[in-house]
Structure 1
Amino acid sequence: DLHTGSRHRTNLPQIRACLKDQRTNHLAHQFGVPVILDADLIEGSLRKVAYKKKIPMIVFEGGESLRYDEITIRSGLSGILSVMQSLGMIGEEAKKSKFIKSIVANRSYWERAPHSGILILKKKLGSVVNPNEILGIISDPLGNDNIEVRAKEKGVIIGHTQLPLVNKGDALFHVATFDTTKSVYKVIENFDDKFDYEER
């Protein structure tokens, strides 16, 4: 299943899957995106129905709705070909590119706006952040009363709002967390090298 971020939100190319199913776990790692989010199954969702019928299923998310994003498109296409190759649907010669090793996030959280105002992003998609690190600043129209938005936990930014005007409580930054972020830097760097990922 292929998704963009919801309207006015952008996502780092990622896979969401229930990794306790071995076949799903295998397909998720074959896709070759930086982050795999081990996501719970939601009742009534397509993933839940597929799981009950013992059909392996992964969800690719990347980019923003209503926007063409070349990096996301190339990443998604490369992942589809990788999965098809792993299933024996295409030959080795059909796909010749550097494989990206993924890191698994066991959970994620949203940093929300503590105040209404104008949001200035200080971090981009794929940024590794530490606890209490500044992700963005919310200001009033005159640039006064700046309020910092800080990370609660260490992780990687896998999504953020694209709207400059925010209301108190709005979801601003989606952060994936890991048991260790030791290998995260290298994975993001390899992805950047392969797809020439530029700052938004």
Structure 2
Amino acid sequence: MSATRRTLRPSFPIGTVKVRAGSRREVSLPISRLVTGAEVSLPVHVLHGREDGPTLWLSAAIHGDEVVGIEVVRRVLARLDPKTIRGTVLAVPIVNVLGVMSGDRYLPDRRDLNRSFPGSARGSLAGRIAHLMMTEVIGPSDVGIDLHTGADRRSNLPQIRCDLEDEQTRALAEAFGAPVAYHARLRDGSLRYAARERGARVLLYEGGEAWRFDEWAIVAGVDGVLRVLAHLGMIDPEEVVVEPAESPSDICWRSGWVRARRTGIVHMDVALGQRVSEGEKLGELFNSFGKRLAIVKADRDGVVIGRAEAPLVNRGDALVHIGEIESTDRSGLDEDARDTDTP
């Protein structure tokens, strides 16, 4: 018997199957049944390497309208070979299967799946899906990357949201190399909160707009995931052709939305990733007769990490999300967290 055979890793158990070392397998974990009787399952791709290493999960479409992550997962999987990776990759391209099928951000009962973790085997539909994810995917993992996009009619600059005060998590965020790394507080009921309680380090990637394959957001996501895999020693950068980040991530400790002061039609003059200064013009509001109602101005110095894409706005609507670049003053962290789309 060869040395390779003697040191082969044990098979990876998931659901009712075991995945052999050095192999790839697609597993369907039963969730529920439709009224037609057809089974709805959670799709999981398992790449179980021959050599020891971390277990990392990738998850996308926890909100049914966030399709950028689905494509990120597809492209990442196409670049990985289970015969050469070290450790195990668990990829769930569509967590909210029912939401994607119905074209809805939420589940049929209108629950937000990302407020339902860690869930329960006997709970609501959302709770059961969350419990399944926690048991089969997150529980065995050391590191997770959860892929998101902006909310309805909003687009986000590619960014990592995570606990920057945790040294290991910050190192992962820096390895990802997104334009911005944003310190986002943990929210009760979120996947990130539940996973952190289990001891996993989690990066939440935001990029692009709901229901769109924004290529710039997809490329940034694929490159970032591959960099994290290389940082963890799970892949060799030269084999997968991992491109280094163009520059270090801007670090943001707090942010806020500039809001519409009037109801009208907005014309935006600011782009994602643009540096702005307090008082700088970001756009203008007009009424239906073409009369200018207001000038939209930045309320702080920083970088544009999100913006509204809908031209018709009501007074109080969020228009431009500005993240403040790292400074020594961390008072009032995440001061406008309720409006940052932080899952």
Shared fold per TM-score greater than 0.5 = yes
Separation in structure 2 between the aligned mates of residue 111 and residue 66 of structure 1, nearest angstrom: 24
Matched, 1:117 2:269: no
**What amino acid is aligned across from residue 287 of structure 2 in structure 1?**
D
Q: Which amino acid aligns with 2:256?
A: Y
What is the identity, as a one-letter code, of the residue corresponding to 1:69? D
Q: CA deviation at 1:7?
A: 1.2
| Structure 1 partner of 2:215 | 70
1:15 positional shift: 0.3
> Does 2:61 align with 1:61?
no
The Cα offsets for residues 129-158 of structure 1, whole Å up to 9 and x where unpaired, read as: 101111110101121133111111101110
Q: Name the structure 1 match of 2:163.
A: 18
Work out the CA distance in 1 between the residues paired with 2:250 and 2:271. Answer: 18
Structure-2 change in CA distance of 1:167 and 1:103 (3 Å): same
Runs of 4+ in 1 over 2 A off after TM superposition: none
SS in 2 for 1:78: helix
Q: Is the 8 A contact 2:250 2:326 kept in 1?
A: no
Describe how 1:6-155 pairs up with structure 2 within 5 A.
6-93=151-238, 94-99=240-245, 100-155=247-302
1:66 offset after TM fit, Å? 0.4
SS at match of 1:60: strand
| Distance (whole Å) between structure 2 residues aligned to residue 35 and residue 97 of structure 1 | 17
Aligned counterparts of 2:197 and 2:242: Cα–Cα separation in 1: 35
Q: Render the CA deviation track for 1:35-55: whole Å, top value 9, x for unaligned.
A: 000111111211111222221
CA–CA distance in structure 2, aligned partners of residues 145 and 5 of structure 1: 28
- Say which SS state the counterpart of residue 76 (structure 1) adopts: helix
Distance 2:244 2:231 in 1: 15
Query: Relative to structure 2, which stretch is displaced further, 21-30 or 88-97?
Result: 88-97
Indicate conservation of the 8 Å contact 2:183/2:252, yes or no: yes
Q: CA deviation at 1:116?
A: 0.3
- 8 Å contact 1:124–1:157 — kept in the other structure? yes
Cα distance, 1:96 vs structure 2: 3.8
The residue type equivalent to 2:321 in the other structure is H
Checking the alignment, whether the CA contact within 8 Å between 1:17 and 1:39 is kept in structure 2 is yes
Alpha carbons 1:82, 1:95 under 8 Å: kept = no
Query: What is the Cα deviation at residue 179 of structure 1?
Result: 3.9
The code of the aligned residue for 2:254 comes to R
Could you say what secondary structure the match of 1:106 adopts?
Answer: strand
Q: How many angstroms apart in 1 are the aligned matches of 2:188 and 2:274?
A: 32
Query: What stretches of structure 1 of length at least 5 have no aligned partner?
Result: 181-200
In the alignment, the residues of structure 2 paired with residue 156 and residue 92 of structure 1 have an alpha-carbon distance, to the nearest angstrom, of 30
Moved more, 91-100 or 135-144: 91-100
Give the letter aligned to residue 36 of structure 1: A
Asked if the contact 2:223–2:242 (Cα under 8 Å) also holds between the matched residues in 1, the reply is no
- Once the two structures are superposed, residues 34-77 of structure 1 have per-residue CA deviations (whole angstroms, 9 ceiling, x without a partner) of 10001111112111112222210010000001011111100100
**CA distance in 2: counterparts of 1:37 and 1:75, whole angstroms:** 16
Partner amino acid for 1:121?
Answer: M
Deviation, 1:92, is 2.2
TM value normalised by structure 2: 0.51
Query: Is the aligned partner of 1:164 residue 2:323?
Result: no
